[in-house]
Structure 1
Amino acid sequence: MTDARTEAGAARRGTETDDRSPGGAPTAEAAEPEAGAAEPVDVAVRERKAARRELTAAVLLVLAGAAVVLSVAGRTWAEGTALVHGSHIAVHASGNTINKATSALALLGLAGGLAILATRTVGRTLIGALIALAGAGVTVLAVQGARDTSAVDGEAAKKAAVEGVRAVDVSHAVWPWFAAVGGVLIVLAGLFVVVRGRRWPGMSNRYEAPAGRGAEVRRGTATNADLWNALDRGEDPTR
């Protein structure tokens, strides 16, 4: 009976020894479950990279729209001729002369585009709505400016130094429509932020995570939030 128990114990010890490498580490077969644990981390990394690309695209869209609006706002949007004592005086009006709010709203959208880098979740959604409203305002004012003649009349009265003088042969340039396109870009960026902005990373995340999170992530015991925070700190959770 004693010999039977001794042989059984030796067989069990032999099985445990076979499952380990000569150095006592688990063999490749025993380590297979741990290899599968890296898959959620890889998914989190891909999602994080995609979110950063979306954030970059939204900021660039706002910057592009605001740049277009501001670059054409100072150009001549309308021009005409004032008749004063039989003489023809050329008059013109820029976008800022027609309505200064166009540039102001573009600057507001630009500031909002920078603000989405420093905000998160609900705050970022509100910023996105503000950006969209600013872009809509730019678009409306630009379309109105493409038909406006009152500013040219005002410039005619100033040059003639006579009240009631009106401009004739008024024509409009294409610049208001460029401004309208810029406004549409700002609107699209704002709506993009509203719809997708909650999942984008924030600029301040890397300063908020407690110490030791990186090791916890690498051990595979962290939650999805820990994985995202580790990426914000510049750590690679797959290592």
Structure 2
Amino acid sequence: MSMLTRKPVVVLLAIAAGIIMLAAGRADWISGTVDGPAGPMQASAVGTDAAPGLAGLALVAMAAAVAATTSGRIARWVSILAMIGVGVGVIALSVRAVLSAPAVLGVVAAEGSGTTGTLEATGSASAWPWVAVIGAVVLLLAAVGAVLGGSRWGALGGKYERPTGDDPTQAGGARGERVDSDWDRVTRGDDPSVD
């Protein structure tokens, strides 16, 4: 489990999940027959039509993983919650497309023909919605890694923050004496690199 809690692993899992979801969204999720004005015709619905918002959710997942590994504590938890929300949302959209394939195909076909509402349709789902579910599960695994490892992660800007101690504007000199930090010297207009 310790490998799962490392920052690079969390980011790579989330990026892989996003790529899987994006790839699934471009494929045909549902195919069948629609009763149009001119009679029955073959129709299909790609993932981004059958599960509106899928592409956006995949991009949010990748961005949230990067934010979770580079932000402070509060932003990290917001990002982790976003990752969990995206994972659950993609699973819900995918299962809906599988369980209501004819209805989803009828709505997509009606939108494609420029009408409102739905058209009578028969159809079945392919394996692609389940591929999107696999991507969501990988994302949830990344979120678990972020939850378990996040308490040990520092924020990206943490190493550039002022030193803490009695006087945060002072840093220890070579012999232990108190001197201004390089950061404070630059702030005052003094260039420490010419010493």
TM-score by length of 1: 0.59
Could you give the per-residue CA deviations for residues 107-134 of structure 1, whole angstroms, max 9, x where no partner exists?
2211101112321233313321221121
**Is this contact kept in 2: 1:91–1:155, CA < 8 A?**
no
1:11-90 matched pairs, under 5 angstroms: 54-83=6-35, 87-90=39-42
Of 143, 148, 158, the match for 1:195: 148
CA distance in 2, matches of 1:52, 1:163: 46
Q: Aligned-pair distance for 1:177?
A: 0.2
SS at match of 1:188: helix
Counterpart of 1:94, as a letter, is: V
**In terms of mean alpha carbon deviation, does 153-162 or 182-191 score higher?**
153-162
Seq. identity, %: 25
- Inter-CA distance 94–121: structure 2 relative to 1 (3 Å threshold): same
1:184 matched to 2:162? The reply is no
**In terms of mean alpha carbon deviation, does 171-180 or 200-209 score higher?**
200-209
- Inter-CA distance 130–83: structure 2 relative to 1 (3 Å threshold): closer
Which residue of structure 1 lines up, in the alignment, with residue 121 of structure 2?
167
Q: Which has the higher strand share?
A: 2
Counterpart of 2:18, as a letter, is: A
1:207-226 matched pairs, under 5 angstroms: 207-208=160-161, 210=163
Q: Aligned-pair distance for 1:103?
A: 2.4
Which residue of structure 2 lines up, in the alignment, with residue 124 of structure 1?
76
Unmatched runs of 5 consecutive residues or more in structure 1: 1-49, 220-239
Q: Which protein has the larger Cα radius of gyration, Structure 1 or Structure 2?
A: 1
Q: Aligned-pair distance for 1:98?
A: 1.6
Counterpart of 1:95, as a letter, is: G
SS at match of 2:30: strand
Aligned residues: 167
Which residue of structure 2 lines up, in the alignment, with residue 137 of structure 1?
89
**Is this contact kept in 1: 2:107–2:117, CA < 8 A?**
no
TM-score by length of 2: 0.71
- Inter-CA distance 76–199: structure 2 relative to 1 (3 Å threshold): same
**Is this contact kept in 1: 2:80–2:143, CA < 8 A?**
yes
Unmatched runs of 5 consecutive residues or more in structure 2: 164-169, 177-195
Which residue of structure 2 lines up, in the alignment, with residue 111 of structure 1?
63
**Is this contact kept in 1: 2:5–2:148, CA < 8 A?**
no
**Is this contact kept in 2: 1:62–1:113, CA < 8 A?**
yes
- Inter-CA distance 70–213: structure 2 relative to 1 (3 Å threshold): farther
